[in-house]
Structure 1
Amino acid sequence: MLNWTGSTNESQVTGYRVYYRTKNALNVYHHLGIVGKRADKAYQFTLPTLPLDVVEIGVVVNNSNGEEPGSWPIVFMYDNRLSDPLTYVSTTSNLPVPSNFEGQLYYPQAGKIAGWLRWEVSSDRNILLQLAGQTIYFTDANGTKLQLIGSALEPPIIDNHMNYNGLNINEPIIIPNGATQIAIYSVLESGKENDIPAYYPLPPTIQFTDWDEHYRSIRGHITWNQDNNESNIKAYYAYFTGYNVSPVEISHVAKGAPWRLSIPTPIMIPQGANFISIYTMDYNNHLSLYGSPVYIQDNYSSYQVQYALKQRYFTGITAIDIKQILLTLNNPSNPFSQISKEDIQVLLSLIKPIMSAN
């Protein structure tokens, strides 16, 4: 199923034409169908079985005169292989190793990952013509394959340009036990994989619980685990981030300090922001291009705050008492170095009152 959102201004739009192209016949646009304009701008098209060498699907705007724009959005092909078993794959040498990664992976839920990655492959047309694309795996720290993720099929080749490919995880997927990184192997049309993969580390685990009970207002404690390689890291920065909005700094902490930041008093969430992202700064004062985000679960009632705190700090405890709260406050793994009076009051509110027998 192909889904897309309609153009911002559809006053001249009558519908959308859907097509595909194949790797070995890029000059041929195979027509799949036309979808008429909808008032809700929510479009979908059921795709038929496509050829194995399909490299792109495009959606083209049509107007009442049958005219089409000179450019339009396209989708590169990706094969979801999460259910495929791990099997032996024969290898070869000297295929391009993916490099120059860009991306933003994050944990929308505990034990699950989502986001996107993009990488460069090669600018050599002769090499690219041999490739089927890249196969992507979860691996452990030693590079042992744990689970297939998918295959990124090689996109159309543009002469004299660096070829890019990528991975989009729109629906969260479960991370297998022991996985610390993603491995990307270039693969031939014959199915042989390159003997040398590229590795991309899983993002740090970031946690944030909103202790404030007002809408679009937060306070609390941000924690994360250290970067896999801190040799060129000077500091960690926390920002509000979102889609198509400029990041807004919250605070920062130097390397060597605990990987945590406290927001002791309420601050407003900027318009359009829905993540807190951790960025790194190097010794040349360059901030990393992409941060590791965590979705902001904005609590806006005392009930939501209490429920979130119970889930975070008191899982499995049915009757919270002052002893449990003191144990939580003194637990070195909890980020309470800057706990406020208001936070203590919220924790104490978790204690159920003792009902009188009378």
Structure 2
Amino acid sequence: MYSEPLIRFSKSVRLFLIVIMVLVSSIGMLPSRSLAVTYAPDHVVFLDTDPDEGEIGGTISWESRDTEGVASYVITASTTYHADQAVIAEVPLKDSKFYSYSIPENTKLPENAVKLNVKTKFANGELADEWMVCALIDNTSSATPQAANLPTAKRVVFTDYDYLSNDLFPMIRVEGAEDETNITHYVLYYLDDKGEKLQQIGQVAKEESWLMKLPRNVQMPEKAKAIGVYSKGPSGESTGRVTTGIWNIPNHLPRNVMFTDTDPDQHEIGGTLTWERATDESNITSYQIYFGSIDGKKFFIDEVAAGKSAYSYQIPENTMVPDEATRIEIYAANAFGECSDFGTQTIIQSDAPSAETIIVRNNPAGMDD
């Protein structure tokens, strides 16, 4: 049973997206003008290419939204609570929604600065009450870290923010360690398929690690397969880490998932499940098969090794379907045993809402509501 894919989010993901929209898109208070108008820039992203701690350099980019009465955009650095904001630059309004500014190498950061802000400035000199921020990821690769006995973060999740196109727009979310007393930052690295460090991305203050973005189609090391997150404190950098795969959606999705139930009994299935390989299998070592429910629960069925052009899996007759399950879901998995952030599914029960293949959002264990 198959039709064109659509996007469906679980309850936890819908809540996560709402949190993002509320806390990230409108960090300030209510706008000073009409509530229907949004002056805060969108998609603020910065990648630090200066390797020294406490200094930054590189391109910060953003997109404008409503521009009536706008004269310029002001780039500042600030603490967690937007205090001690230091002005880095002011960029005049132009006839394009796409902006970028090159911050010179060796630009000193104010003490305790943990985020960059892009604020809208009106022709009368006032700043809009709403603005957009991005976590300040400081490249510190010029220093060799000392090994330290620090707890690791609980987990890290990688999401392709632009999951509807072939562009890769990385969004990274870190859930901090249970005890962060001796932790000041989390340091991000690109890893190869064996977990070896390839290149540092940078360090982010622990308070800002809950949501980070990298530039669209960011240049990664050729062999990069994952991102590793290490804890950092005054004593050094942790030897342990948490890891997330790098997933480009929809290129890493299994395609054309189909299943026909040949078992005549209610609440039991049997038959052949088929699918085509993902467009890009370079980061995929296997496909994991699950029963899935509408509210995002998953029930593991089996795992099939990758490396073929097309796949089939025989589900035995008289296989019981979990009470809440209405579909079969297939997720790509990598060498670290992690599933991709999204999967593909096919409806399996006649009393399900519709018979269609649907792209579904994976709920990492422990991140459900």
TM-score where L is the length of structure 1: 0.49
Greater percentage in helix = 1
TM-score where L is the length of structure 2: 0.48
Bigger CA radius of gyration: 1
